[in-house]
Amino acid sequence: MANGVGTGKVTVPGVVLGGLLAIFVVISTWLFITDRYWFTELSSEHGASLDGVFIAVLIVTGIAFVATQGLLAYFVTRYGANGDEKASYWHDNPKAEMILIGGTALTLTILVFYGQLVWYDIYFTDPPEDSMVVEVTGQQFQWVFRYPGIDGEFGERNISLVSPTNFIGLDRNGAGADDIVALGQMHAVLNQPVTVLLRSTDVIHNFHVPHLRVKQDAVPGLTIENHFVATIAGEYEIACAELCGANHYRMKAALTIDETEAEFDQWMEEQLPFQ
Amino acid sequence: MTTHEEHAHPQLGFVRKYIFSTDHKIIGVQYIITAMSMAVVGGILSMLMRLQLGWPSAPSPTLEGIFPTGFAGGIMAPEFYLSLVTMHGTIMVFFLFTAVLTGGFGNFLIPLQIGARDMAFPFLNALSYWTFLLSCITILGALFVEGGAPLGGWTAYAPLSALPEMGPGQGDGMTLWIVAIALFTASGLMGGLNYVTTLLTMRTKGMSMMRLPLTQWALFITAILGTLAFPVLLAAGILLTFDRIGGTSFFVPAGLYTASGVAVEHSGGHPLLWQHLFWFFGHPEVYIVLLPAMGIASDILSTFARKPIFSYRMMVYSMSAIAFLSFIVWGHHMFLSGMNPILGSLFTVTTLLIAIPSAVKTFNWIGTLWGARIQFTVPMLFAVGFVSTFISGGLSGVFLGTSASDIALHDTYFVVGHFHLVMAVAPLFAAFAGIYFWFPKMFGRMMNMTVGKVHFWISFIGVNCVFFPMHAMGVVGHLRRIYDPTQYLFLEPVYGMNQFISIAAFILGGAQILFIGNFFASIWLGPKAGKNPWNATTLEWTVPSPPGHGNFGPELPVVERWAFDYGLPGAKEDFVMQTEAPSRVESGSG
Amino acid sequence: MPTITQEVTTVPIPDRPDVLDGFGPPARPPVDAGGGDEGRSPGQGPAFPVSKGRLALWLVLTVVAMLFAGFSSAYIVLRAVPAWENVALPGSLWANTFVLLGSSVTMEWTRRRMAQGNTASAKKWMAATTALGMAFLGGQILAWNQLVNAGIYLTSTLHSSFLYILTGVHALHLVGGIGALTAITVQIFKNRYSASRHEPVTLCATYWHFMDGLWVYLFLLLALA
Ligand code: HEA
Ligand code: HEA
Ligand code: CUA
Ligand SMILES: [Cu+2]
């Protein structure tokens, strides 16, 4: 009988399985690259580099995906059982393995460095001095936005002051007198840096603006800073991306990026602080 | 399990033998059947979820009949949806996979494959099963208590989980959840203790560690993982319980505003602490699910490739490496939690490190098929399915592991797609492969292979239709754990996809009925199986199917070689049992 | 098949060092020691160097260690939050610590005497150990009392919460330990052990020393808060 010298056979189940894998590889790859299912329209400065990282990972994993699934498909098609023919008896090849491990390690190292460079200039660059500061408070199940007002200073907050009209327990005496509090609506100005201070009064929420590639948890007891610069004016959806209770799914808010300072100031006027 | 009748033991009554048995084989089967029933529950829950996601808030009076509160007014309530999600995740991760892979296959296979008569501590073994059963009942109980099951997800993030006022289901339901998990942990620890002791001290003569089948290595490493990871979850659970009922503030910061006013009695706690403790356990847990699957798939691949596994040693080393690394990657679930971004970078590095041993395994599986003579039996089909889905899911993990790209993908369906492929589907396929493969050894009969093939083809196509598109949805931005995606305009492009996935999911779920039917029918009706229906080499195939009490008869087998001598040149057959002495093989009388 | 079962199950049950086997079903097949050789020629190769009971004990201790590792890391993380507030440890904890250390010493003496086959004095020290162990538990309850009297409750501060929970969970482990101690004391007085067969004593000693060390660690953790 043959000892691995035989040819093997192309079997029906082998072909079906291999074929399925092939079809699946093609469709999957399409799903990942078609702009039908691409990110929402990019509207922030830092967003570009994030999408860049995604594409880099996509290329690396894409190659790995096609290569591995492809080989799998090929082998199952090619090496079906053939009578009592024996498979080729080999089970080690340190050299090949070291090459493959080395290759993977190298690719991943490059990936890590590229990804971390982007990660760093998102999390380790301070916002410019002139950036507008907005305090964003998540609570079951709404977003409350607070602007410091004319004095440019946020007033004190005291949880015991929370009431149906005073969502975040703002103390109207002192610096808080002119703070502007808006429920479910946030405004910012085109191409101007914005710093958001994320807080929560109950459970963990997540301040998520898909178009701006902004996503950051709002954790009770902490104040987490995040900043962005919007590059396209318009209305954007703000979502809560962290499970926070029954109505998590409709904890929404609207973000308006105004063309000009004027429009923004006008909106501010409308939000007269309630006494 | 009345099928064992033909092996009546004069000394033992039926109850002793098949219900309160301490025989590892019976306990294994008990685990498998219990886990299977839990899987059915978890599967049904997911079908309900898909119903809601595909056709949000579609009125359905029938379901109102079944769940008067959950479907009050004929429409699913948001909190009910979330409790479905929580229970689905919890049941599937713990009560299906951890149970079926370690509890089921572990108990059944360890003594049989290492040449022992039973576990080191049979009574402890039985105890572990009954504790597990108790935990199953407890978790199901959460569905029926006042307020319903918890809605905080299987990760039970504090403070949502720490304060009952934070939502329906966070009261009694959440308490039951914690109790169930604690019981499950205890059961898992008893099991692990048994596995490690048995594997180290009870291997038969000649069965050196490096001659173990990979399944055994996987189970060994998994047991150690569990021993190190479960206690931490237990500790976290204890602290959480004290926060809930003792009024302490480990996870609850000062001045939280709840439905019933300000939670004044709490101060000083830290919500992220829960996440750190949970994920320190949680990430090893996902490998506790995956490793046994890897082991089973490796052995079955080699068996039906009729070719030795490629690079046995690297397989063992990579599994150990994965196990070790899994303890230092937990932060990759917390990139956006407000955790120090420096840590974020460190965790990215460790996370992607894990891709290397995983890559090794992938390459070795593919290498095993190179030049093979593949027999496309049902177990083999599922094993190949395992490799394919593991690659898909694993690679999507790399997007998440890179902290920068996780910003867009965190808490979207990209994550859901990732972990279903790699944790739901891959281990499920390995489990199926294992069941089809060892069923004859369990019940002395074969399963119906035609039905099995149909089951595979539908499942394989099904899972790829259900879970792969989820990545695309995630890229578009579809958030997870949301009751009604149509709330968001930016998700408009994927409304249709949701329906497609739901339909595929129903077909997939339906296909599982084939499996369950096949399983139970074959126990009684399947064609009788011989000692070694698959021409496999490991010890369990040297004894009758099913093996009698004590497995091996008067003499324990003596192991002469590793478990992968398929297609050995010079041998008479294309497989050589582990018990064959070299001399006998040369003379060709294998 | 039945024939084999007959043969197997009629083999007498081997003497069982560990408590759990006792509860097994009436007739179990023998459980041979294994330990594969390096795979050259079968039949040789020593069985695994450590006994089942001892290995199992080590695993149990690993679990306990990880449990408290979990608590400790929580402690260390919360230690850093601004709201952290220390409470004064009840003085009796010091006394208890010495009692427990003492019990460890007597336990060790018991083990040594046992190994020398000096059952007579082993009995004395074993009884002493059990007594000291119970004394420690009593002392802990006293300590809790002192805390309550000082108006320090579970929820007073994070530090007090940990104080109660860590001592409590440790005490639970000791209750188990004392159960074993009492059981073994009874056995010793029934002269069940000999210089050659007294594994339960050595295992118990290991567990007890571990609990002792664990307490010292916890005490330092809480004291150096
Ligand atoms: C069995 C379970 C399992 C397994 C094996 C994995 C494997 C991996 N997982 Fe996954 N993961 C989960 C189960 C699992 N995961 C679960 C349940 C969640 C969600 C929890 C929740 O929030 O509910 C999750 C979530 C999750 C997150 C958090 C996402 C978020 O919430 O934002 C991250 C981030 O890093 C991650 C990463 C990874 C990585 C890098 C791997 C790697 O180990 C994958 C390695 C494998 C490969 C890479 C493929 C094979 C290799 C090759 C083909 C070679 C070529 C490859 C390259 C050159 C890159 N996973
Ligand atoms: C690990 C196991 C596992 C498995 C098998 C599944 C199976 C499925 N899951 Fe799920 N899922 C999770 C683990 C799993 N899931 C987790 C951890 C979450 C996160 C929860 C959270 O967010 O907190 C989740 C969440 C989750 C979501 C996201 C919900 C949300 O975020 O809003 C969705 C949505 O479609 C979903 C769908 C499905 C579907 C359609 C299946 C289908 O595959 C179901 C078809 C039925 C089966 C596959 C069962 C078949 C098995 C048997 C019949 C017996 C098997 C017996 C043996 C092998 C012995 N799951
Ligand atoms: Cu707030 Cu989700
Ligand atoms: Cu993880």
Burial C66-83 (b: 16+ CB within 10 A, else e): bbbebbbbbbeebeebee
Which of C104, C118, C114 is CA-nearest to residue C184? C114
> Tokens in use for C189?
């007085």
Q: Which amino acid is at A156?
A: E
Q: What is the pLDDT of residue A5?
A: 55
Confidence of residue B572 (pLDDT cuts 50, 70, 90): confident
Confidence of residue B2 (pLDDT cuts 50, 70, 90): very low
Q: What is the pLDDT of residue C204?
A: 94
Q: What is the pLDDT of residue B262?
A: 80
Provide the percentage of residues in chain B whose pLDDT is more than 70.
Answer: 96
Cα B313 to Cα B146, B208, C70, distances in angstroms? 53, 13, 33
> Tokens in use for A104?
């993977």
Confidence of residue B369 (pLDDT cuts 50, 70, 90): very high
Q: How many residues does chain C have?
A: 225
* In the block, residue with structure tokens 């029918």: B521
The answer to whether residues B306 and B373 touch, using CB atoms and an 8 Å cutoff, is: yes
**Ligand 2, atom 32: nearest CA belongs to which residue?**
B481
CB of B558 within 8 Å of a chain C CB? The answer is yes
Interatomic CA distance for residues B361 and C145, integer angstroms: 58
Q: For A190-196, what is the mean pLDDT? A: 94
**Of the ranges A161-170, B109-118, B462-471, which one carries the lowest mean pLDDT score?**
A161-170
Q: For A80-84, what is the mean pLDDT? A: 84
**Ligand 1, atom 28: nearest CA belongs to which residue?**
B333
Which residues does ligand 1 sit against, CB inside 6 Å? A 60-61, 64, 68, 104, 107-108; B 155, 286, 289-290, 332-333, 351, 354-355, 358-359, 362, 391, 394-395, 397-398, 400-401, 406, 410-411, 415, 418-419, 422-423
Helix (H, G, I), strand (E, B) or coil at B328: coil
Interatomic CA distance for residues A139 and A218, integer angstroms: 9
- Residue B327's region, left for phi above 0, alpha for psi from -120 to 50, else beta, is alpha
Q: What is the pLDDT of residue B3?
A: 39
* In the block, residue with structure tokens 């889905």: B389
Helix (H, G, I), strand (E, B) or coil at A221: coil
Mean pLDDT score of chain B: 91
> Tokens in use for B319?
């599994």
Residue A141 pLDDT more than 60? Answer: yes
Q: Enter the pTM of the model.
A: 0.93
Closest ligand 2 atom, residue B505 Cα: 40
Interatomic CA distance for residues A243 and B412, integer angstroms: 11
**Of the ranges A210-214, B237-241, C86-90, which one carries the lowest mean pLDDT score?**
C86-90
Interatomic CA distance for residues B86 and B169, integer angstroms: 10
Name which residue leads in pLDDT, A172 or A240. Answer: A240
Q: For B46-57, what is the mean pLDDT? A: 93
Helix axes B78-90, B24-54, angle to 10 degrees: 150
Residue B517 pLDDT more than 70? Answer: yes
CB of B348 within 8 Å of a chain A CB? The answer is yes
Cα B193 to Cα B21, B190, B351, C165, distances in angstroms? 19, 5, 28, 26
User: What 3 state SS string does B32-73 have?
Assistant: HHHHHHHHHHHHHHHHHHHHHHHCCCCCCHHHHHHCCCCCHH
Q: For C56-86, what is each residue's pLDDT tens digit? A: 999 999 999 999 999 999 999 999 888 888 9
Run of H or E including B22 = none
Q: For B201-229, what is the mean pLDDT? A: 93
Residue A41 pLDDT more than 80? Answer: yes
Residue C179 pLDDT more than 60? Answer: yes
Interatomic CA distance for residues C139 and C96, integer angstroms: 6
Provide the percentage of residues in chain B whose pLDDT is more than 90.
Answer: 76
Q: How many CB atoms lie within 10 A of CB B496?
A: 10
Cα A203 to Cα B173, B517, C65, distances in angstroms? 18, 45, 32
Residue C9 pLDDT more than 70? Answer: no
> Tokens in use for B493?
């492009």
With a CB cutoff of 8 Å and minimum separation 6, the contacts of B285 are B93, B98, B229, B233
Confidence of residue C181 (pLDDT cuts 50, 70, 90): very high
> Tokens in use for A14?
């082998």
Q: What is the pLDDT of residue B167?
A: 87
Report the side by side order of strands in the sheet with A253-258: A185-189, A253-258, A234-240, A205-209, A214-218
CB pairs under 8 A between A and B: 320
Q: Find the farthest-apart pair of alpha carbons in chain A and give their distance in angstroms, rounded.
A: 96
Q: What is the pLDDT of residue C36?
A: 39
Q: What is the pLDDT of residue A190?
A: 94
* In the block, residue with structure tokens 């509890």: B103
Residue C165's closest chain B neighbor by CA?
B239
Q: Which amino acid is at B482?
A: I
Q: For B18-40, what is each residue's pLDDT tens digit? A: 777 889 999 999 999 999 999 99
Residue C8 pLDDT more than 50? Answer: no
**In this structure, is the dihedral angle defined by the CA atoms of residues B328, B329, B334 and B339, taken in order, positive or negative?**
positive
Residue C13 pLDDT more than 70? Answer: no
Q: What is the pLDDT of residue B58?
A: 84
Mean pLDDT score of chain A: 90
Q: For B217-247, what is each residue's pLDDT tens digit? A: 999 999 999 999 999 999 999 999 999 998 8
User: What 3 state SS string does B440-461 have?
Assistant: HHHHCECCCHHHHHHHHHHHHH
Cα B136 to Cα B31, B125, B292, distances in angstroms? 11, 17, 21
Q: Does the structure's ipTM exceed the value 0.90?
A: yes
The answer to whether residues B150 and B157 touch, using CB atoms and an 8 Å cutoff, is: no
Residue C170 pLDDT more than 70? Answer: yes
Residue B584 pLDDT more than 70? Answer: no
Helices (H), chain A: 12-33, 47-78, 94-123, 261-270
Helices (H), B306-374: 312-325, 341-369
Residue A4 pLDDT more than 60? Answer: no
CB of B88 within 8 Å of a chain A CB? The answer is no
Q: What is the pLDDT of residue A61?
A: 95
Q: What is the pLDDT of residue A6?
A: 65
Identify all chain C residues contacting B236, using CB atoms and an 8 Å cutoff. Answer: 70, 74
Residue C192 pLDDT more than 80? Answer: yes
Q: Find the farthest-apart pair of alpha carbons in chain B and give their distance in angstroms, rounded.
A: 85
Provide the percentage of residues in chain A whose pLDDT is more than 90.
Answer: 69
Q: For B134-161, what is each residue's pLDDT tens digit? A: 999 999 999 988 888 999 999 999 899 9
With a CB cutoff of 8 Å and minimum separation 6, the contacts of A200 are A137, A138, A139, A218, A219, A220
Q: Name residue A96's beta-bridge partners.
A: none
Q: For B343-356, what is the mean pLDDT? A: 95
Helix (H, G, I), strand (E, B) or coil at B209: helix
Q: For B85-125, what is each residue's pLDDT tens digit? A: 999 999 999 999 999 999 999 999 999 999 999 999 999 99
- Residue B148's region, left for phi above 0, alpha for psi from -120 to 50, else beta, is left
From the CA of A60, the nearest ligand is: 1
CB of A101 within 8 Å of a chain B CB? The answer is yes
Interatomic CA distance for residues B299 and A165, integer angstroms: 65
With a CB cutoff of 8 Å and minimum separation 6, the contacts of C43 are B205, B206, B558, C37
Which of B202, B241, B312 is CA-nearest to residue B539? B202
Confidence of residue B278 (pLDDT cuts 50, 70, 90): very high
Name which residue leads in pLDDT, B16 or A231. Answer: A231
Provide the percentage of residues in chain A whose pLDDT is more than 70.
Answer: 97
Q: What is the pLDDT of residue B20?
A: 79
**Of the ranges A19-33, A46-60, B253-267, B559-573, which one carries the lowest mean pLDDT score?**
B253-267
Contact A37 B473 (CB under 8 A): yes
Which residues does ligand 2 sit against, CB inside 6 Å? B 32, 35-36, 39-40, 43, 46, 49-50, 53, 85-86, 88-89, 92-93, 97, 100, 153-155, 416, 420, 423-424, 428, 431-432, 435, 466, 480-481, 505, 508-509, 512, 515-516
Residue C39 pLDDT more than 50? Answer: no
The separation between the first and the last C-alpha atoms of chain A, rounded to the nearest angstrom, is 96
